[in-house]
Every structure is written in C-alpha cells, then in structure tokens.
Amino acid sequence: MITRRSLLRGFTATAAGLWVPGAFAEALTQTPKQVEGPFYPVDLPLDTDNDLIVLNDSLNPSLGEVTHLSGRILDAKGEPIRNALVEIWQVDHKGVYLHKGSDGGERRDKNFQGFGRFLTGSTGEYYFRTIKPVSYPGRTPHIHVAVKLKGREKWTTQCYIKGEKQNARDGLLNYIKDDKQRAAVIVDFAPLKGSKTGELAARFDIVMGFTPAG
C-alpha cells in the first residue's frame, strides 16, 4: 500500500540519486541572502513536516497547484551540508500567510500548512510538497527559505518562478544586482513527468558562502 509518508520518502530518494559529489563545483554561484520578511510564523502549526498540502492525516488537501520543491544545501566548494534544517513558508492559494498580521486572514485556507521543515542527510538533499506560490499586493510569487545550522545564525532567501511577469517589477528580487545571483533564485516550475493531475516540480539548490569546519 502506498502511503503519504512512503511517497515523500520515495521522491526524496529519487532526487538524492541525481546528486554527484563535487559535480560542477567550479560553476557554482553563491545563493544571495534576502530578508526574512514580516510573515515568519509567530505561532508554528502543530504539523511542521515537509508536506504542506495535507495537515497531519486529514482527508482534505489544500487548494492550489501541487508542487514538489527539492534541492541541495551545498557549501562554497559544492559539497553537501548535512544536518541543515531547511524551513519554508509561503502564502496559500488566496495570497494569505499563516501569520496574524497577514491581510485577509479570514479567507485563509485552513487546509494549507503554510510552513514546513526538513533536515538534510549526507547528500544535502531536501524535499517539500507544497503549492506553486501566488502573488499578493506588492510582491511577485515567491517561497521563503531558511537554513539553520548549529553554531550559525539563521540564513534566509527567497525562491521565485521563472517566466513570471511580475518578477520584473519586484523590488526585493531586483535588489539583487548580480545577474548570476539573481538568476540563482529564479527556478523553473515545470510539469512533473508522469503526473496525471498537473503537478509541478521545482529544483532550488542553495549554495552557502562558507565551508563547514571539519
């Protein structure tokens, strides 16, 4: 029997199999750091796993375009970083955050987790099942991503959609002046091969600007 958790484990294992140690390290561009923003959850949901579509084992999934977001956390040399706690948070399909200060809180999709966590293993791989981000007033669609490592301050950035017209007018995205670094946070949300329900897949590798000691 295929369960929700076995599906998530299987997708992670498949993505991890694509990783090759040190591959293309010479071509890596450091991922730019961006502001955390005002909507990091004040009160975390009871469910903080890496599946934002379903709360616990609810039978009612959230609305939106299901997206499989994965990637690697790498150091400055292109080597994977293990035991990195990756967090994401974003608006639901109506443009509302899981935050008391978010506009339109009364419309928030109660079936969307809004926040998730994943701890990387030896390959540095992370994986989330979420929805394709949508815009809200003043911002182009994006997903906030934080990386927490023992002994270091929390590091945050944002992930954007390739081809999104609003990107050209987004102040935070265009504050990144280096073309390669700006391109590094814009990723393709492409149809997931073999999906019969229109699911998407997005790959967002994060290159940290340091090499862990030891």
Residue 29 lies in a domain: no
Residue 173 lies in a domain: yes
Residue 24 lies in a domain: no
| pLDDT tens per residue, range 24-50 | 445 689 999 999 999 999 888 889 999
pTM of the model: 0.87
Residue 22 lies in a domain: no
pLDDT of residue 3: 47
Q: Considering only CA atoms, which of 56, 32, 52 is closest in space to residue 41?
A: 52
pLDDT of residue 19: 45
Give the length of the chain: 214
User: Would you call 118 exposed, middle or buried from its count of C-beta atoms within 10 A (0-12, 13-18, 19+)?
Assistant: buried
Whichever domain contains 187, its CATH number is 2.60.130.10
Residue with tokens 């017209």: 165
Low-confidence ranges of the chain (pLDDT < 70): 1-27, 213-214
| pLDDT tens per residue, range 150-176 | 999 999 999 999 999 999 999 999 999
Residue type, 129: R
Helix (H, G, I), strand (E, B) or coil at 137: coil
Number of domains in the chain: 1
Residue 26 lies in a domain: no
pLDDT of residue 135: 97
pLDDT of residue 66: 97
Residue 128 lies in a domain: yes
Residue 147 lies in a domain: yes
Residue 127 lies in a domain: yes
Domain that holds residue 124: 4-16+35-207
93 vs 53: CA distance, rounded Å: 11
Q: Considering only CA atoms, which of 208, 152, 160 is closest in space to residue 187?
A: 160
